[in-house]
Amino acid sequence: MRAVLFDRDGTLVHDVPYNGDPEQVRPVDGAREVLDALRARGVRVGVVSNQSGVARGLLTSAQVDAVNRRVEDLLGPFDVWQVCPHGPDDACVCRKPAPGMVVRAAAALGIAPAECAVVGDIGADVGAAVAAGARAVLVPTAVTRTEEVDAAPLVAPDLRAAVAMLGVGP
């Protein structure tokens, strides 16, 4: 496993629907420590994030960028960012559960998708990983549906356990 790609909202930071305000960014417990441990082991880290608020007119790309900068301020640098600004009906290849962001993130890192894992909180995150040929770990939250948990290949109670399951974490 050469890279771990994380969903942003609900996985690395607490989900604030359509957040365009960097001041509302709050990391989940242990996120910084897990990311720092991965970095220390030479594992590349990235973010793959659906941001349909842009397509819906609820956010601007500049707001998404500002929130992403705040995430980096709090959690440290990421090797790659992939953001899908499209809505659910746009039929793009990047919006999770489509594999586009995972494939592009792997390409940007110079590795194959099979050398990546995706950690997320909903079935779309798992679906994108599987579709791209990457490993997937679901870290459920209050919004994760039971059927998503049941369908996930790996389920972890938190980020630390998720990366441990992948054999790359603390």
The string of DSSP codes covering 94-146 is SSTTSSHHHHHHHHHHTS-GGGEEEEESSHHHHHHHHHHT-EEEE---TT--H
Residue 81 lies in a domain: yes
Residue 170 lies in a domain: no
Choosing from 7, 21, 36, 125, the catalytic residue is 7
The number of beta carbons lying within 10 Å of the beta carbon of residue 157 is 9
Residue 87 lies in a domain: yes
Mean pLDDT of 125-132: 98
Mean pLDDT of 130-156: 97
Concerning whether 7 is annotated as a catalytic residue, the answer is yes
Residue 45 lies in a domain: yes
Q: Domain span at residue 111?
A: 3-144+151-165
- pLDDT at 73 (0 to 100): 98
Count the domains in the chain: 1
List the structure tokens of 15.
Answer: 């989900």
Mean pLDDT of 18-40: 97
Residue 31 lies in a domain: yes
| Residue position matching structure tokens 């880290």 | 45
- Mean pLDDT, the chain, as a whole number? 97
pLDDT digits (tens, 9 = 90+) for 48-66: 999 999 999 999 999 999 9
Residue 124 lies in a domain: yes
The number of beta carbons lying within 10 Å of the beta carbon of residue 89 is 9
- pLDDT at 170 (0 to 100): 65
Choosing from 9, 21, 89, 158, the catalytic residue is 9
**CATH code of the domain containing 75:** 3.40.50.1000
Residue 103 lies in a domain: yes
Q: Nearest Cα to 72, choosing from 19, 111, 31?
A: 31
To the nearest 5 percent, what fractions of the chain are helix, strand and coil? 40, 15, 45
Concerning whether 9 is annotated as a catalytic residue, the answer is yes
pLDDT digits (tens, 9 = 90+) for 56-94: 999 999 999 999 999 999 999 999 999 999 999 999 999
Alpha carbons 35 and 13: distance in angstroms, whole number? 13
Residue 104 lies in a domain: yes
Alpha carbons 56 and 51: distance in angstroms, whole number? 9
